[in-house]
Amino acid sequence: MKYLLTIVASLLIVSACKKVDTPPSREEELRSGRWKHSAMTLKFDPYIGKDTTYNLYDSVPVWPACKKDNFILFAEGFDATQNRGDLKCDESEPETIPFHWYLSNDKKQINFYNADNTFFGMSSITADFMNYSTSKFTIQYVDLQPSHVNNTKKDTLTYTHTFVKF
């Protein structure tokens, strides 16, 4: 009888337990949708001279309408594609451009490889998450270029990209 009560009590406890759902990881959240640019700036900090911030997203020569509808799909195995939207910049533009990504620094950074088309010809970048939610994130990275005043010194270019899920 003692064993029967123990078994019944164990069954009641097991059946009363509810499964605790674990929240999706940041990788899973990124893979769960399509992401497109919604803002993009460049802060130019020259070796000599005044800092200037440029709104690249609203600059038609830099980021025309045919690029604004492009979107990124993050996939398993840290593969990703930049996908062309409905508007084409030219007829030779491919439908998709593959690249690679992964998170680092305790998921505070995202790394992109072979993402030249998305990040102004820069094949690889490591960007800090400035903010992150399940529907929007902003990343920032720095590029040092030889100064146009003194090529032994560097100009600092700080790029900020905001993506929204749609």
Q: Which domains does the chain have, with CATH numbers?
A: 24-165 (2.40.128.280)
Torsion of CA 58, 60, 63, 64, to 10 degrees: 120
Q: In terms of DSSP bridges, do strands 124-132 and 34-45 run parallel, antiparallel, or are they unpaired?
A: unpaired
Question: Alpha carbon 123 to chain centroid distance?
Answer: 15
Q: Under DSSP, is residue 80 helix (H, G, I), strand (E, B) or coil? A: strand
For 97-150, what is each residue's pLDDT tens digit? 999 999 999 999 999 999 888 887 888 999 999 999 999 999 999 999 999 888
Output Rg (C-alpha) for the chain, integer angstroms. Answer: 23
* E strand residue ranges, the chain: 34-45, 52-55, 71-74, 79-83, 96-104, 109-113, 124-132, 136-146, 154-165
For 57-109, what is each residue's pLDDT tens digit? 999 888 899 999 999 999 999 999 999 999 988 889 899 999 999 999 999 99
Q: For residues 149 and 142, what is the distance between their CA atoms, to the nearest angstrom? A: 19
The answer to whether 97 touches 80, Cβ cutoff 8 Å, is no
The residue behind tokens 């920032």 is: 140
The least confident of 2-11, 34-43, 124-133 is: 2-11
User: Which pTM does this prediction carry?
Assistant: 0.83
Of 140, 103, 125, nearest in space to 29 by CA: 103
**Residue 122, both tokens:** 């820069």
Percentages helix, strand, coil for the chain (3-state, rounded to 5) are 15, 45, 40
Q: For residues 101 and 125, what is the distance between their CA atoms, to the nearest angstrom? A: 10
